[in-house]
Amino acid sequence: MSEPDAAPRQETAVTSDAIESPLLEVDGLRKEFGGVVAVDGATFSVAEGSLTGLIGPNGAGKSTTFNCITGIHEPTGGRVTFDGQSITGLPPYTLANRGLVRTFQIARELSEMTVIENVMLAPGGQVGESVIRSVTPGLRGDVIEAETAVRDRAWETLEFFEINHLAHENAGNLSGGQRKLLEMARVLMTEPEMILLDEPLAGVNPTLEEKLLERIHELRREQGLTFLLVEHDMDVIMNNCEHIIVMHQGSVLAEGDAETIKSDERVLEAYLGGDV
């Protein structure tokens, strides 16, 4: 593969206050759990085709924001717009079918299913998901045809992430890093427009981290996918994301490219407790 680190920041210049052609817009998002306000009026946009980073100290509300965007939690207030349409409070399956998918902070493989079953589950609109079609002899031809196509694509995807040798292994037997790769392979099979990655590199060794980032850049370049990335590793965010959103105490503290963020006093303060 070509060097991935050349890709960022040479794309369209994105400034903190005006994003051209936003794919995802979050406006005044609010989520309360009982008396606790986890997200407090977060507002930001993600440009189409970008690799945007979302950072913030622990408890800043990043994961809750993710959960509200992807329909796992229903937001208490605010609006989420995807591809020009409001998706506020829609269930996860509707969002996935519209092209907005996510991975989980702790990889959630379907452990008693094989790797290839995991991957073949993902594509949307499979004809064989209808009982009648899967059972009735006359209608089953379409199912077989579709299954064959899905299987072939699954093998290609597994090869892309270099986990094809594990195809028939139960997903529960995979190592932590392999599970992260499997999650990526799985969301990719849904043919998404945008992928939300919740700490995809946590607990991943440097070699695998390199591999994962390489894949992300390749998918951006070649398929025009949009990524929103939550990550704790500052270097990864700074080196890979052309646009960075910093959250603190449930709202957006700062936005901009790596240089802007690095030199922002408030960001340093939020991370280091004002001791700089």
Partner 1 sequence: MSTVDSVRNRLDTLPDVGLVIGFIASIWAVMLVLAIAVGGANWANLAAGFIGSVTVLMGGYAILALALNLQWGYTGLFNIGIAGFMAVGAYTTAVLTAPTDPAAGAVPGLGLPLWVGLIGGMVMAAIIGGLAALPALRLKADYLAIVTVAFSEIIRLVVNWNGLAEVSLFGVPFGTGGATGISFKSANEVASTFINGVGQPIVAAAEGVGVSGPNLANLTYGILLLLVVAASYWVLARITNSPFGRVLKAIREDETVTQSLGKDTRRFKIKTFMIGCALMGLAGVLFRGQAGYVSPQQFRPTITFYVFAALIIGGSGSNTGSIIGAATFSGLLFYLPARLGENVSLGGTRAPGNIIDAVAGLGSLDPLPLLAYTISNISTLRFVLIGVVLIYIIQNQPDGLLGHRNEPATSVSLDRPQSGSGGETDE
Strand-pair category, 22-33 with 226-230? unpaired
* Residue that is written with structure tokens 């890979």 in the block: 240
121: contact with partner 1 by CB under 8 A: yes
Site string for partner 1, 40-79 (x = CB under 8 A): ------------------------------xxx-------
The answer to whether 233 and 56 are in contact (CB under 8 A) is no
- Residue 33: CB minimum distance to partner 1, A: 17
Q: Give Dmax over CA atoms of the chain in angstroms.
A: 72
Under the binding rule (CB under 8 A), the answer on residue 122 touching partner 1 is: yes
- Tell me if 202 sits within 8 A of 107, measured CB to CB: no
Size of interface with partner 1, in residues (CB under 8 A): 48
- Closest CA relative to residue 4, chosen from 164, 236, 205: 236
The residues pairing with 30 across neighbouring beta strands, listed in sequence order, are 40, 77
**183 has which bridge partners?**
none
Q: Which one of 144, 176, 205, 266 is in contact with partner 1 (CB under 8 A)?
A: 144
Select the span of 16-24, 50-58, 92-100, 219-227 touching partner 1 (CB under 8 A): 92-100
175 contributes a contact to partner 1 by CB under 8 A: no
Residue 78 CA: distances (Å) to CA of 103, 105, 163:
23, 24, 40
173 binds partner 1 (CB under 8 A): no
Q: Which is nearer to partner 1, 39 or 158 (CB)?
A: 158
* Tokens 């800043």, located at residue: 60
Which residues are near partner 1 by CB under 8 A? Answer: 70-72, 91-93, 96-97, 101-102, 104, 108, 110-114, 116-117, 120-122, 124, 126-131, 134-135, 140, 143-144, 146-148, 150-152, 155, 164, 167-168, 170, 186-187, 190
